[in-house]
Homo-oligomer: A and B are copies of this chain.
């Protein structure tokens, strides 16, 4: 069973917002990363993804389920418990995410520098 998710996993210092690519929609890649080491409950995902409203998180998870990237398992308990897990297909995205991360480590600083340099001349 996996450890608890680090609340600061996707903090602003993590430049995921500046990356020039996106897997699925805005939160898909982060969800995949959260599920990498085992299933997670809805509330668990909300910890590192506290910037996402439950509505959007639900929408994203439903879309991922529809695309065969995650499974949703609801246990008939009280209080309710729902677990999300990566499918084999969803797991294949990890390779791509890792490639994106490697690109970022290697080249994102250069991109951001270029953005800075071009941002200044047009700034008021």
Assembled-state Cα–Cα distance A89/B65 (Å): 35
Least Cβ–Cβ distance between A30 and chain B, in angstroms: 14
Q: Are A89 and B110 in contact (CB under 8 A)?
A: yes
Assembled-state Cα–Cα distance A38/B23 (Å): 28
Q: A76 at interface (Cβ–Cβ under 8 A)?
A: no
Copies of chain A in the complex: 2
B-facing residues in A1-44 (Cβ within 8 Å): 20-24, 28
Assembled-state Cα–Cα distance A69/B21 (Å): 13
Assembled-state Cα–Cα distance A100/B95 (Å): 10
Please, which residues of chain B bring their CB within 8 A of the CB of A59?
none
B-facing residues in A90-124 (Cβ within 8 Å): 92-93, 95-96, 99-100, 103, 106-107, 110-111, 113-115, 118-119
Q: A55 at interface (Cβ–Cβ under 8 A)?
A: no
Q: A68 at interface (Cβ–Cβ under 8 A)?
A: yes
Assembled-state Cα–Cα distance A99/B101 (Å): 13
Known: A21-B96, A65-B118, A68-B111. 8 other contacts (CB 8 A): A20-B24, A21-B21, A21-B22, A22-B22, A66-B118, A67-B114, A92-B107, A95-B99
